Amino acid sequence: MDFDVLYRTRRDKVSSYMKEQGIKAAVFEDSEDRREPALRYLTGHPTDALLLITDDGNSILIPWDENLAKERAHADQIIPSTKYERNYAKALVELLSSYAYEKGSAIAFCEETQYCQYAKYREELKDWDIQLKEDSVHNFVRNMRAVKDSYEIECTKKACAITDDMTLIIMDGVKSGKFTTEMDVALFVERYLREKGAERTSFDTLAAGPARSFAIHAFPGYTGGLWASKGLSILDYGVCYEGYASDCTITVANKPSAEQQKLLDLVQTAADECRKLYMPGMKISDAVAKADQIFAEAGRNMPHGLGHGTGLEIHEAPFVSKRAPKDKTFIPGNIITLEPGLYDPELGGVRLENDVLITETGNELLLHSKIFII
């Protein structure tokens, strides 16, 4: 993989958009105050830096960790933040002053920039039109990220393969008696993923035994309580491989009652029927409506969305929920979860979650999560 070409191609699309919109420069800042996955998407640098992209295609990365940038980053220029006393505002003043832009030229910041940081930039960059707009270059990049290229698909498939392997090992451990508590499972995940080359979990692991599975996201994420004991247990977990996330949920049903079996059957039916609607060109709202119909006919209601995109963030566009625009469709290259679930304070919870790649002709399951009945 020629990463210089990969990241330059992405940045060139951004610069072309900026030129069309009359934006002279765009700032992408990743810090402890607010993480910005676009930084990694556009340069390969994983964290803590400021990226400046200009409409003529130039890119300047100002990393906090110079050594890490030398190893991982791809940009036209890499300038350590120490040159600017670790002050990004000072860096921007110096860098932008080197361009012969007209007074009042537009420079785009992310609309989620904190107000105090925005005020600081506005004060330092008096001669610039500082823009924080919802539908601007940063949103353009989010939309780019919603459609994965071949490298992103490859990384996600690797994350999913590691996750699938863990699921099989976990279920073998349940049957052998090796894994009996929420902690057993969650700590195994933490160790195994790193042994297999993944960076981290893609979110805090949620292992909820029968006493806690009624919650959509059990709090705390896991305890020393029993898991996979009699009743319904949920494991919601995933890993990041080269930054790209998997998102998996399995349900383990140990000697389920008749009423619990009804929940299991409903969720499985929703997963099977809704997958048929995860097709290129089909409306996202149709899949959401199908899940709602299946549950409503049984007098049940799903209290969360049907799915969401994954990538450098565990939750990113597109979102498969009632909030999705009516004309929004699935697009080849989308990687989206399909995660119907039901939760009952007395019976417990059931969720089944798989990651689905939308292809030119249909869809492909990247995970193979199941409802396990023991």
What mean pLDDT is predicted for residues 63-81?
96
Do 30 and 76 fall within a single domain?
yes
**Which of 145, 171, 198 corresponds to the end of one domain?**
145
Do 311 and 183 fall within a single domain?
yes
Query: Does the structure show a pLDDT above 90 at 101?
Result: no
Do 256 and 344 fall within a single domain?
yes
Q: How confident is the model at residue 334 (pLDDT cuts 50, 70, 90)?
A: very high
- Tell me whether the omega of the peptide bond preceding residue 256 falls within 30 degrees of 0, making it cis: no
Q: Is 85 helix (H, G, I), strand (E, B) or coil?
A: coil
Residue range of the domain that includes 353: 150-373
**Which of 125, 145, 165 corresponds to the end of one domain?**
145
Do 54 and 195 fall within a single domain?
no
pLDDT at residue 65, rounded to an integer: 96
Do 65 and 179 fall within a single domain?
no
Do 85 and 46 fall within a single domain?
yes
Do 179 and 89 fall within a single domain?
no
Between CA 317 and CA 299 the distance in angstroms is 30
Is the CB of residue 353 less than 8 Å from the CB of residue 369?
yes
Q: How confident is the model at residue 115 (pLDDT cuts 50, 70, 90)?
A: confident
Start-to-end CA span in the chain (Å): 44
Q: Which of 52-66, 85-99, 252-266, 291-305 has the least mean pLDDT?
A: 85-99
Do 277 and 128 fall within a single domain?
no
Query: Does the structure show a pLDDT above 80 at 100?
Result: no
Q: Concatenated DSSP letters for 13-44?
A: HHHHHHHHHTEEEEEEEESSSS--THHHHHH-
Helical H runs in 236-299?
A: 258-275, 284-297
Do 237 and 309 fall within a single domain?
yes
Q: What is the pLDDT of residues 312-322, one digit of tens each?
A: 999 999 999 99
Of the chain, the percentage scoring pLDDT greater than 90 comes to: 90
- Tell me whether the omega of the peptide bond preceding residue 318 falls within 30 degrees of 0, making it cis: yes
What mean pLDDT is predicted for residues 197-214?
98
**Which of 145, 168, 183 corresponds to the end of one domain?**
145
pLDDT at residue 160, rounded to an integer: 98
User: Which residue shows structure tokens 């508590």?
Assistant: 181
pLDDT at residue 98, rounded to an integer: 83
Is the CB of residue 247 less than 8 Å from the CB of residue 297?
no
Return the H-helix or E-strand segment holding 219: none
pLDDT at residue 205, rounded to an integer: 98
Number of domains composing the chain: 2
Query: Does the structure show a pLDDT above 80 at 93?
Result: yes
pLDDT at residue 274, rounded to an integer: 98
Helix 150-176 to helix 182-195 angle, to the nearest 10 degrees?
140
b/e 92-112 (16+ beta carbons within 10 angstroms → b): bbebbeeeebeeebbbbbbee
Q: How confident is the model at residue 124 (pLDDT cuts 50, 70, 90)?
A: confident
**CATH number of the domain residue 203 falls in:** 3.90.230.10
Do 63 and 94 fall within a single domain?
yes
Q: What is the pLDDT of residues 13-49, one digit of tens each?
A: 999 999 999 999 999 999 998 899 999 999 999 999 9
pLDDT at residue 269, rounded to an integer: 98
Task: Please list the helix, strand and coil fractions of the chain in percent, rounded to the nearest 5, in that order.
Answer: 35, 25, 40
Q: How confident is the model at residue 278 (pLDDT cuts 50, 70, 90)?
A: very high
User: Which residue shows structure tokens 């006493």?
Assistant: 211
**CATH number of the domain residue 72 falls in:** 3.40.350.10
Do 127 and 218 fall within a single domain?
no
* Mean pLDDT, the chain, integer: 96
Q: With 0-12 CB in 10 A as exposed, 13-18 as middle and 19+ as buried, what is 323?
A: exposed
Do 316 and 238 fall within a single domain?
yes
Q: How confident is the model at residue 283 (pLDDT cuts 50, 70, 90)?
A: very high
Give residue 335's region: left, alpha or beta (phi > 0; psi -120 to 50).
Answer: beta
pTM of the model: 0.95
- The tokens describing 79, both together, are 């300038």
Q: How confident is the model at residue 232 (pLDDT cuts 50, 70, 90)?
A: very high
Q: How confident is the model at residue 96 (pLDDT cuts 50, 70, 90)?
A: confident
